[in-house]
Amino acid sequence: MNPIRVGLLGIGTVGGGTFEVLRRNQQEIRRRAGRGIEITAVCRRDQAAARAIVGDAARVVADPFDIVRDPSIDIVVELMGGTTLARELVLAAIGQGKHVVTANKALLAVHGTEIFAAAHDKGVVVAFEAAVAGGIPIIKSLREGLSANRIEWIAGIINGTTNFILSEMRDKGLDFDVVLKEAQRLGYAEADPTFDIEGVDAAHKVTIMSALAFGTPVQFGRAHIEGITRLQAADIRYAEQLGYRLKLLGITKRRDDLGGLELRVHPTLVPGKRLIANVEGAMNAVVVHGDAVGTTLHYGRGAGAEPTASAVIADLVDVTRLLTADPAHRVPHLAFRPDMLSDTPVLPIEDVVTAFYLRLQVADQAGVLARITGILAEHDISIDAVLQRESAEGEKQTDVIILTHDTVEGRMNEAIARMQALPTVLAPIVKIRKEELN
């Protein structure tokens, strides 16, 4: 049987890793796929750099549309990134009747609904395991392994840069700006780390997982996104004292009581005894809770050349296996038939119910704590724990830390506005959401 012919758009870190792993494990991959898989053409503007990677094993072109239009190519692998040219190329490949494999989470989070609809109409596959959590097979788990379950919620550490930064802040007691510079020096953070540290990258990924879990179109524009740039070492330290770890989580939840879904990315306190709380450095982990299976943890390297290449090649193997399958019997792109997708809306963050960590810098005088707890009581917000830092001699201010039970975010915001107006509250109140994940 003739091998499947693959065209690679982009041969940088991930593309080079894909070429190398496919070359190194060629025999094993052929056994698993049932036929050979060969990269016969690659595209990179710097053709000399591409040639240095592939040698004479593949044709090198500068124009990606040369690969998309090549009738000999069966599968197009898009590893260029971005959402403009990548969208044009993917839609053009689909229009040519070619299957597509992509690691581009931003593309799918923003344009996924259009792309999946085009692929369905053309009877081709768009595979995207590498778009979320690198080498962790979370997409396949949601589409297939957990298909018997009604998924209730997903929470994930899905950005290695921010997890490395938070781990270093906790271990070394350093502030964010100091650790970010170290992360950039070590190569864990980009020269421009905005998408990572502001939570956008994690939001792209949780948007895709939300669509898979709940059978909705991708809704990135409705996600609530907060990054880690305003976090302070003091809050990480206080969280530790209370038995919690601070992580940037992507969270999506089914909220049948309100007829919607939660879709959010933000710093989150997690109990230190949870496995996900102990995921350190640049590692990723995703927790999925289904009604039948309960809670499952999926852990591994979320980025890097070969972990991501592992996911890309797994998709190539899947598409190869499916090439002889009737399109009507393939697993749908979002795990639900297109005509069965739900129009369930994403809820505004003000309607989200969660517990909270509050840190208030207050005047060290009698009656302050009573006024604060009184305001919380007036807003029907129950207190779980209180920690007050002992003032040093001569200090006229102190920190009060409050953990609350679950409450509606809008109600909490109203209470914070009242507390902030007190003359004894001396600095902006720090608010961090807390999730038990059990």
Three-state DSSP class for residue 290: strand
Q: Which of 105, 205, 247, 253 is catalytic?
A: 205
Q: Ranked by mean pLDDT, which of 89-98, 178-187, 393-402 comes out on top?
A: 89-98
Q: Does CATH place domain 4-138+305-340 in 3.30.565.10? A: no
Q: Is 406 exposed, middle or buried (0-12, 13-18, 19+ CB in 10 A)?
A: middle
Question: What is the phi/psi pair of residue 262, to 5°?
Answer: -95, 140
> How much of the chain exceeds pLDDT 90, in percent?
88
The boundaries of every CATH 3.40.50.720 domain in the chain are 4-138+305-340
What number is the average pLDDT over the span 239-250? 97
What is residue 155's predicted lDDT score, i.e. its pLDDT? 98
Residue 6 backbone dihedrals phi, psi, to 5 degrees: -115, 135
Asked if pLDDT for residue 329 goes beyond 80, the answer is: no
Q: How many CB atoms lie within 10 A of CB 215?
A: 17
| pLDDT of res. 391 | 78
In 3D, which of 220, 249, 262, 247 has the Cα closest to residue 106?
Answer: 220
What is the predicted pLDDT for the residue at 321?
85
In one-letter notation, the amino acid at residue 169 is: M
E-state strands within 302-421: 353-363, 383-388, 397-404, 407-408
pTM: 0.93
Q: Say what the pLDDT of residue 328 is.
A: 64
Beta partners for 397?
363
Find out whether 95 and 65 touch, Cβ atoms under 8 Å: no
Average pLDDT over residues 133-152: 94
β 244-255/260-271 pair status? antiparallel
Q: Which of 140-144, 184-188, 425-429 has the lowest mean pLDDT?
A: 184-188
Domain boundaries 145-300, corresponding CATH code: 3.30.360.10
Tokens 């996924």 belong to: 112
d(CA 183, CA 157): 17
Structure tokens at 232: 């302070």
The yes/no answer on whether domain 350-434 falls in CATH 3.30.70.260 is: yes
pLDDT value at position 326?
66
Hey, is 295 helix, strand or coil?
strand
Tell me the mean pLDDT in the region 315-331: 79
User: Residue 254: how many CB atoms within 10 A of its CB?
Assistant: 18
Range(s) of the chain covered by CATH 3.30.70.260: 350-434
Tokens of 413: 């915001």
Delimiting residues of CATH 3.30.360.10 domain(s) in the chain: 145-300
Query: If you compute the radius of gyration of the chain from its CA atoms, what whole number of angstroms results?
Result: 24
Q: Which residue has the higher pLDDT, 335 or 256?
A: 256
Segment 223-242 mean pLDDT: 96
Q: Is 406 strand, coil or helix?
A: coil
Pairing verdict, β 294-301 and 283-290? antiparallel
Give pLDDT, residue 2: 87
Q: Could you give the CA distance from residue 288 to residue 302 in angstroms, rounded to a whole number? A: 16
User: pLDDT tens for residues 24-38?
Assistant: 999 999 999 888 999
Torsion of CA 407, 280, 294, 332, to 10 degrees: 100
What pLDDT digit, counting tens, does each position of 302-319 carry?
Answer: 888 899 999 999 999 999
Higher pLDDT, 322 or 283: 283
The C-alpha atoms of residue 385 and residue 289 are separated, in whole angstroms, by: 27
What single DSSP character describes residue 143? Answer: I
Q: What is the pLDDT of residues 156-204, one digit of tens each?
A: 999 999 999 999 999 999 999 999 999 999 888 999 999 999 999 999 9
The structure tokens listed for 5 are 């012919």
Does the pLDDT at position 116 exceed 90?
A: yes
Average pLDDT, the chain: 94
Indicate if 247 belongs to the active site: no
The pLDDT of residue 302:
87
Nearest to 256 by CA among 287, 214, 293: 214
Q: Give the count of beta carbons closer than 10 Å to the beta carbon of residue 242.
A: 17
| Close Cβ partners of 271 (under 8 Å, ≥ 6 residues apart) | 243, 244, 245, 277, 436, 437
CA distance 245 to 332: 37
Query: Range with the lowest mean pLDDT among 92-101, 185-194, 279-288?
Result: 185-194
Mean pLDDT for the stretch of residues 222-237 = 96
- Res 324 pLDDT > 70: no
